Amino acid sequence: MLQRIAVYCSASDGVPEVYNQAAFRMGRLLGEAGIELIYGDGGIGLMKHISEGVLSVGGKVTGVIPRFMVEQGWNNPRSTQTIVTESMHERKATITRIADAMIALPGGVGTMEELFECLTWKQLGLHGKPIVILNTNGYFDPVLAMLDKMVSERFMQPIHRNKMFTVVSSPEQVLPAIQNATAWGEHMRSQARTI
């Protein structure tokens, strides 16, 4: 049973409104399903919109944020709970540990780094949790093309491209994709090496 879902997304204001709207809808869907949002505790950008979506229906929001960001005032005071870590590494490890699944929304280099670390850990069999990429407005198309190139040039195995994560185009498709994700346990560690 899904209780907590991690979301990686942008903390940038001024992005096209289509991304903010999708993030808010995603948050509402999580809240309506009784699923706690685990995220980076940002108070602006898509981070703000997804947390507001959850809170708008009485849901729970847990932010995980390094101390130096709190000292800069970058945390979201509206989060239901805040976990303060000592480093970015601890932040990411905490999010991965306490979440039952992960969703990537559009974002910048931080979002991409979080997504790729999560994918790497799954490829290595360090976790088997579902990962869904919400490809709003085709945002992740260039990333997916790069993954296809990795496969075609044998830097990545097809099973990792085709079974390790799911790509959807609307918030309404995310929770069903998580429920239907390919089972992925420690036994998949044997598949970690490239061809």
Side-chain-side CA neighbours of residue 22 (13 Å)? 27
Residue whose tokens read 């602006």: 44
Domain that holds residue 61: 4-191
Which residues lie across from 102 on neighbouring strands?
A: 6, 131
> For residue 15, what is the domain's CATH number?
3.40.50.450
Query: Does residue 193 carry a pLDDT above 80?
Result: no
**Percent over 70 (pLDDT), the chain:** 94
Q: What is the mean pLDDT of the chain?
A: 94
Among 71-75, 117-121, 187-191, where is mean pLDDT lowest?
187-191
Report residue 102's pLDDT band, with 50, 70 and 90 as the boundaries: very high
Q: Tell me what pLDDT residue 190 has.
A: 65
Query: Does residue 174 carry a pLDDT above 70?
Result: yes
What average pLDDT score do residues 47-61 get?
A: 98
Query: Does residue 128 carry a pLDDT above 80?
Result: yes
What average pLDDT score do residues 181-185 get?
A: 82
Going by C-beta distance under 8 Å and a sequence separation of 6 or more, which residues neighbour residue 91?
Answer: 40, 64, 65, 66, 85
Residue whose tokens read 């970690």: 192
| Number of structural domains found in the chain | 1
Which residues lie across from 84 on neighbouring strands?
A: 65
- Rounded Cα–Cα distance for residues 165 and 132 (Å): 6
Query: Does residue 6 carry a pLDDT above 70?
Result: yes
Q: Tell me what pLDDT residue 187 has.
A: 65
- Rounded Cα–Cα distance for residues 97 and 106 (Å): 22
Report residue 183's pLDDT band, with 50, 70 and 90 as the boundaries: confident
